[in-house]
Structures are given as structure tokens and as C-alpha cells.
């Protein structure tokens, strides 16, 4: 599936977790199509199934019912290894906590995936991206020498350095102030537009949601809201 376009289709997808207290329905029967190159916000109260939905699209969770397709390929039909390769090569994942490796420097954290890939120019590409993010002076520091906002920018760089066609971000600005939040969303949106990637962002923040083309609302594992948004021309120009 090299050269993915990033089309997503969910066909009556459900996810139940079995716990000691019984089964928990995290996602009901959700059907959804997202066209390649779209940006989508996923909103809703805590516990409504946003992270589970993102995990299903990212092939991190297997659905209990229904089917998830990326570029027409059903994720459950792939082997564990094929899914892992897809995530590594074609997906960019950003989580709320930055999940950087504490014993690797900033540039090593960003370039690790490329190194595993066997890319010879991984170090240079990582340094270039770090410089673009205004973090050049921090390249050789360890994550705990950075502020929370800087660490999250590094996590975003790590997710974007291989030019993914599907970017999945779970509350990427959840722990950031307004300024850092804007920087992180700018990065995600410009990466998405640069290669026409599909971007799904889970967020509680209406400012972040307004930056996306489309906003989905979840309640109790069900899709209750789906609206296309059109950014005002002023805003579009300022990003381009
Ligand atoms: N691994 C898990 N085991 C059991 N229950 C889970 C697990 N992950 C999530 N849940 C439950 O599924 C529901 C949806 O969780 P989640 O997708 O994390 O929601 P959100 O991201 O919107 O806060 C919640 O009731 C949560 O407690
Ligand atoms: Mg969540």
C-alpha cells in the first residue's frame, strides 16, 4: 500500500472492551467516509470513544464489529506485520502526552523511525525539520530539558518526518497553552496540505476544531454530529 491516498471508510464499526465488570461499548455502529486530503476534527465529551475511534482507524485496535478500510483495504485483512509497516511508513501518530524516549536526544527521537527504515539521510532530514520548527538549538538536548510545548513540537516532528499520508492526532494540544497549541496545529495543517494528507484530530478545543474542514461529534460511542466547515478566506490566506 505504498503511495497511500488516505481515504478512510468505516462500515458499521463497533468496539467493545471486555472488563472485569462486564463489556463496555466504546464505539457503537459508526459508518463514515473521509475523503483523501480532508482534515477532520473529532469532538465530544470525555469517554465518548474518540481515542478508540482513532485507534481503530490507525489499526491499533481491532473492531469487534464492522470493517475499517484505508484506501479500500480492510485493516483486519492485513497481517500484524503489514499493519505495523503501514503505521510506520504511511501513518503519522501524535498522542496527547508526547511519548518521547527520554534517553534519546531530540534529533534522535525525530529520526528513530527513519533510521529503522534504513534511510541514510534520516539525521539530516530530522535536523532540517527540527530547524523548521524553530527547535534547532535544542536538537542535541534530552526531552526533559525542554518545555511541554517544545516536547510536543518534537513529537509532531517525529510523526511528520517521513511525510505520512494519514495523520492521526489524539488531543495533540490538550496540555498546551493557546500559543503553543496554535503552533502545533499550524504544523499539522501545513504538513497535511503539503502532501495532501488526510488529517484526523481529536480535540476538546473549539479553536482547533474550527481549523479543520469537517467536524464530527461523538456521544456515547455514536456519531451525533457531522458538519463541513468552510474557513473564512482571510484565515486560509494566513496559513498558506
Ligand atoms: N482498554 C480499555 N479497556 C476497557 N475500557 C476501555 C478501554 N479503552 C477505553 N475504554 C472505555 O471505552 C470508552 C471510550 O473510551 P475512549 O475512546 O478513551 O474515550 P475518549 O477518548 O473520548 O475519552 C470509555 O468508557 C472508556 O472507559
Ligand atoms: Mg481520549
Which residue owns the Cα nearest ligand 1 atom 24? 47
Of all protein residues, whose CA lies closest to atom 13 belonging to ligand 1? 26
Percent of the chain with pLDDT over 90: 69
CA distance 160 to 117: 14
Output the pLDDT for position 122: 87
In sequence order, what are the residues at sequence separation of 6 or more whose Cβ sits closer than 8 angstroms to the Cβ of residue 141?
Answer: 105, 106
Among the atoms of ligand 1, which is closest to the Cα of residue 171? 21
Total number of domains in the chain: 1
Question: Is residue 196 in a domain?
Answer: yes
54-80 pLDDT tens trace: 999 999 999 999 999 999 999 999 999
Among residues 75, 74, 94, the alpha carbon closest in space to that of 203 is found at 94
Q: Residues 94-140: pLDDT tens digits?
A: 987 768 999 999 999 999 988 887 788 889 999 998 988 889 999 99
Contact of 40 with 34, CB cutoff 8 Å: yes
pLDDT of 237: 46
Mean pLDDT along residues 29-35: 95
Q: Which domain holds residue 224?
A: 8-239
Q: Is residue 38 part of a domain?
A: yes
In a domain, 3, yes or no: no
At residue 230 the predicted structure's pLDDT band, cuts being 50, 70 and 90, is: low
The sheet carrying 8-19 orders its strands as 22-34, 8-19, 65-70, 73-74
Residue 217 inside a domain? The answer is yes
* 131-165 pLDDT per residue, tens: 888 899 999 999 999 998 899 899 999 999 999 99
**Kind of pairing between the strands at 214-219 and 222-228:** antiparallel
What integer pLDDT is reported at residue 2 of this predicted model?
A: 53
Q: How far is the CA of 128 from the centre of ligand 2 (A)?
A: 31
Give mean pLDDT, residues 166-177: 91
Residue 1 lies in a domain: no
Distance CA 52, CA 57 (A): 9
Q: What is the CATH number of the domain that holds 41?
A: 3.40.50.300
Residue with CA closest to ligand 1 atom 3: 17
Using the mean position of ligand 2's atoms as its centre, give its distance from the Cα of residue 99 in Å: 15
Question: 52 CA to middle of ligand 1, Å?
Answer: 6
Does some domain include residue 43? yes
**DSSP class of 99:** -
Spacing, Cα 203 to ligand 2 middle (Å): 9
Cα distances from 200 to residues 68, 75, 94, 107, 128, in angstroms, run 15, 17, 10, 25, 25
- The pocket around ligand 1, CB under 6 angstroms, is made up of 17, 19, 24, 26, 44, 46-52
27 CA: nearest ligand 1 atom: 14
Q: How far apart are CA 3 and CA 166, in angstroms?
A: 11
| Strand-by-strand arrangement of the 91-94 sheet | 91-94, 166-170, 198-202, 39-43, 214-219, 222-228
Does residue 116 belong to any structural domain of this protein?
yes
Amino acid at each position: 500500500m505504498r503511495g497511500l491516498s488516505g481515504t478512510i471508510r468505516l462500515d458499521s464499526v463497533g468496539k467493545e472492551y471486555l472488563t472485569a465488570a462486564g463489556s463496555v461499548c466504546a464505539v457503537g455502529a459508526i459508518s463514515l467516509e473521509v475523503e483523501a486530503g480532508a482534515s477532520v476534527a473529532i469532538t465530544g465529551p470525555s469517554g465518548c470513544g474518540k481515542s478508540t475511534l482513532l485507534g481503530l482507524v490507525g489499526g491499533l485496535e481491532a473492531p469487534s464489529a464492522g470493517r475499517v478500510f484505508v484506501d479500500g483495504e480492510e485493516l483486519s485483512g492485513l497481517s500484524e506485520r503489514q499493519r505495523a509497516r503501514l503505521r510506520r511508513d504511511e501513518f503519522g501518530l501524535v498522542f496527547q502526552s508526547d511519548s518521547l524516549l527520554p534517553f534519546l536526544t531530540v534529533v534522535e527521537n525525530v529520526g528513530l523511525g527513519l533510521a529503522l527504515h534504513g534511510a541514510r539521510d534520516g539525521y539530516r532530514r530530522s535536523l532540517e525539520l527540527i530547524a523548521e520548527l524553530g527547535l534547532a538549538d535544542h536538537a542535541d538536548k534530552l526531552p526533559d530539558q525542554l518545555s511541554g510545548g517544545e516536547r510536543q513540537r518534537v513529537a509532531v516532528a517525529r510523526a511528520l518526518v517521513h511525510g505520512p499520508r494519514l495523520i492521526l492526532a489524539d488531543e495533540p494540544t490538550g496540555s498546551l497553552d493557546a500559543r503553543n497549541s496554535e503552533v502545533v496545529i499550524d504544523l499539522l495543517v501545513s504538513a497535511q496540505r503539503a502532501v495532501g494528507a488526510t488529517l484526523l484530530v481529536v480535540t476538546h478545543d473549539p479553536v482547533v476544531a474550527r481549523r479543520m474542514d469537517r467536524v464530527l461529534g461523538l456521544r456515547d460511542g455514536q456519531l451525533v454530529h457531522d458538519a463541513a466547515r468552510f474557513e473564512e478566506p482571510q484565515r486560509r490566506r494566513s496559513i498558506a
